[in-house]
Amino acid sequence: MRTIKGIPVSSGVVIGVAFVLDDDFRHVPRRAIARGAVDAELARFETARQAAIEELAQLHALAEKEMGPESAKVFLFHVGALNDKKLLAGIHKSIADDHAGAEWAVSEALQTWIDLFRSKDDPTFSTKVNDIEDIRRRLLSQLMGERFDVLRETADNAVVIARDLTPTQTATFDRSKILAFVTELGGKTSHTAIFARALALPAIVGARGVTDAVRDGQKVIVDADRGSLILDPDEETVERYTHERERVEAYRLSLAELADQPAITTDGVEIEIVGNIEFPAEVDTVLEYGGAGIGLYRTEFLFLTSRDIPSEKTHFEAYAKCIEKLAGKTLTIRTVDLGADKYTQERAQIPERNPFLGLRSIRYCLQNLDMFKTQLRAILRASALGPVKIMFPLITSIAEYRQARMVVRDAMEDLDEQGVAYDKDIPIGMMVEVPSAAIQAAMFAREVDFFSIGTNDLVQYTLAVDRTNERVASLYNPAHPAVTKLIRDVARAAKRSDIPVSCCGEAAGEPEFAALLLGLGLRTLSVTASDIPPIKRLVRSLSIPQCERIAKKAISLDSESEASAFLRDRINRLVPEAFDGRTAEPRG
């Protein structure tokens, strides 16, 4: 029995049989063609290209039906790439001038870009690599006469093991056969990971060496809560995980009754539990699980699924759809968090060496005002349809916030001149994601309408740890006393200025950390839809004084390991069922 560790990106536990996906197109031999055969080879390539475009159109229609229009747009990007004049010119030149076969010409043209992005040290830098690989494989499958749907050959209870997966492969999984997947490459922000979450498919990425370690047909357990792949589990381990999985499923079903129940502590304090979403279609799930609204709408996918900058109409339609579904509940829209590994680096002529410390988030928006103002106009127009909040990401100085708010005022003036309706009192707040913002929280609190603490980046920037890097992932810990003290200070500053403060990082969905946040003074938690029921049960099982005592002790400890152990032990004692919905450690 052996365990391989990776980065969990979509939770769940499955027991199945490994299906190792070989990359049949990794090495394509060069085939020389005669000078008189050039036209025929060019025509052969064109036939393959048109067939690939037709396939993608069908996939787009299928994905739009099953996952919604936002997720499906990635296939439109693939179609656009297959029509890219620069790409086509390079392939045509290889065939016409170098007399290379179409397979080699296609492989070289697209492999050059794949290698360029994969050479970067940042494991999340290659957000679009999967898309390029998808296009390459699809064209080669047409040219080489191979079927692209090799995954349909899987047996029942399959766990796909691969070096990497493309968005197309993930989106078209036969869910009646494929239970989960594990890849060597990838990070939490890749399209493949996001599709896995949208499909509720347990998944682990960044599992180094997994394709060499696993053989086809091998029995495996995927624990996608801990990021563990267990090979050849013994009978005792299988039995434990089987019982754990049954217990988890029973627990999750028991939580359904909480959807219509209020999130009120035992001493009568009401806690607002809202949802984090990527796509408008996810609003339905948040409401189904009892969410009180949307605390974080990440709008990057409007950009990531298109080759072009989204129009004001595209923005507005997405926001209007969310507002309609929410029926009076609040929608908090984070303006685009572009830069770093998201969208911009692959379009830059000279990618930044350290994009996480470069031109990203609000900085990027303030240097691309037309794009920024387009989104703000759409948000303002949507605010006439229902309650909306605007939230700026990664604010590091008061000057940034004031400049961003000024752009909002400019957009308002434009709409006033055009006679377009919007909420003139729309709340405008900011994410607290870097130490400088947390330290200056008292100053910010005098100007913003609300705070939302983004623990994902706050932990990363405070501890200098990339949470998507499997080599240092163990150092990423939101319970670190330095992080806890920053959150405490932000909550105190918000309270003194009487403004709302929430937490929308993934840590808010962890029972022990949620209790800590309540003890530090937060009264709004924004979590993924699946975390809403268990967090609601936690809230209904604790009192605020209990949470305050927990927070006081945790913040006094010397290390993050001590704090984590204390939090988990204390919540396990006070609310034993808090961890029933998680499979962090099967009980012996």
pLDDT tens per residue, range 272-304: 999 999 889 889 999 999 999 999 999 987 876
Angle at 148 between CA 144 and CA 149, to 5 degrees: 145
- Which single residue is written with the structure tokens 């980046």? 457
Is a pLDDT exceeding 50 seen at residue 584?
no
Q: DSSP state, 393?
A: S
pLDDT tens per residue, range 182-232: 998 876 656 677 678 767 789 999 898 898 889 888 999 999 988 999 999
Least confident range from 81-85, 363-367, 382-386, 541-545: namely 81-85
Q: How far apart are CA 172 and CA 181, in angstroms?
A: 13
Least confident range from 94-108, 201-215, 340-354, 500-514: namely 340-354
The residue among 267 and 257 whose pLDDT is bigger is 267
pLDDT tens per residue, range 450-482: 999 999 899 999 999 876 665 676 788 899 999
Q: What percent of the chain has pLDDT over 90?
A: 52
Q: How far apart are CA 129 and CA 137, in angstroms?
A: 12
Domains and their CATH numbers in the chain: 2-23+150-236 (3.50.30.10), 35-143 (1.10.274.10)
Mean predicted confidence (pLDDT) in 518-531 = 94
Pairing of strands 228-231, 219-223: antiparallel
Q: Is 92 a catalytic residue?
A: no
3-state secondary structure of 305: coil
The pLDDT assigned to 340 comes to 58
Q: How far apart are CA 380 and CA 383, in angstroms?
A: 5
Cβ-contact 431, 393 below 8 angstroms: yes
Q: How far apart are CA 300 and CA 205, in angstroms?
A: 21
Beta bridge partners of 32: 100
The pLDDT assigned to 152 comes to 63
Element (H, E) at 38: helix 38-67
Determine the residue type at 387: P
Say if pTM beats, i.e. exceeds, 0.75.
no
Mean of the per-residue pLDDT values for the chain? 86
Is a pLDDT exceeding 50 seen at residue 588?
no
The pLDDT assigned to 272 comes to 98
Q: Is 99 a catalytic residue?
A: no
Determine the residue type at 586: P
The pLDDT assigned to 360 comes to 85
Angle at 49 between CA 45 and CA 50, to 5 degrees: 120
DSSP assignment string, 521-583 = T--EEEE-GGGHHHHHHHHTT--HHHHHHHHHHHHHSSSHHHHHHHHHHHHHHH-GGGGTT--
> Which residue out of 191, 315, 365, 480 is catalytically annotated?
191
> Residue 128 — very low, low, confident or very high, per pLDDT cuts 50/70/90?
low
> Which residue out of 322, 503, 504, 547 is catalytically annotated?
504
The pLDDT assigned to 581 comes to 55
Strands (E), 186-287: 203-205, 219-223, 228-231, 272-277
Cβ-contact 94, 104 below 8 angstroms: yes
